[in-house]
Amino acid sequence: MRRDIFQAIADPTRRAIIALIALQAMTPNSIADNFNTTRQAVSKHLRILTECELVKQEQKGREIYYSLQIEKMKEIDKWLEQFRKIWETRFSQLDDLLATIKKQQNEQ
């Protein structure tokens, strides 16, 4: 079963892992050190993120390092863009309304 990237980012621990490895590649143990959970739980989160292609594994000697696949994050950003335009339009309309109210108050 192929997992959806939105399933992956729905979990707060996975979002935190993404934020951690966005800065630098890390081993599972170094990632687990940042959480109050077991190494096995972190491994499960990493497996899901890997299945969704949000992170990639790279073997360096005996260690496996996980890093963020930034290209896959663009898929999330592209989906959010449709809502960003709606929000910006609504904020602009709100700004216009507030300016009108302020102008009316100043005229009184």
The pLDDT tens digits of the residues spanning 25-46 come to: 999 999 999 999 899 999 999 9
**Is 18 in the same domain as 62?**
yes
pLDDT band at 1 (very low <50, low <70, confident <90, very high): low
pLDDT of residue 57: 95
**Is 55 in the same domain as 25?**
yes
Burial 28-62 (b: 16+ CB within 10 A, else e): bebbbeeeeeeeeebeebbebbbbbebbeeeeeee
Task: Work out how many domains the chain is built from and give that number.
Answer: 2
CATH number at residue 43: 1.10.10.10
| CB 26, CB 66: distance < 8 Å | yes
| CB 73, CB 54: distance < 8 Å | yes
Domain range spanning residue 82?
A: 71-108
Handedness of CA 93, 94, 97, 102 (dihedral sign): negative
**Is 30 in the same domain as 64?**
yes
pLDDT of residue 7: 87
The pLDDT tens digits of the residues spanning 51-100 come to: 999 999 999 999 999 999 988 888 888 888 989 889 898 888 998 899 99
pLDDT of residue 4: 83
**Is 82 in the same domain as 30?**
no
**Is 62 in the same domain as 16?**
yes
**Is 24 in the same domain as 38?**
yes
**Is 12 in the same domain as 61?**
yes
Q: Give the dihedral of Cα atoms 37, 40, 44, 46; nearest 10 deg.
A: 80
Token pair 């077991």 is found at 38
**Is 13 in the same domain as 64?**
yes
Burial bucket for residue 100 (CB in 10 Å: 0-12, 13-18, 19+)? exposed
| CB 56, CB 69: distance < 8 Å | yes
pTM of the full predicted structure? 0.75
pLDDT at 2 over 70: no
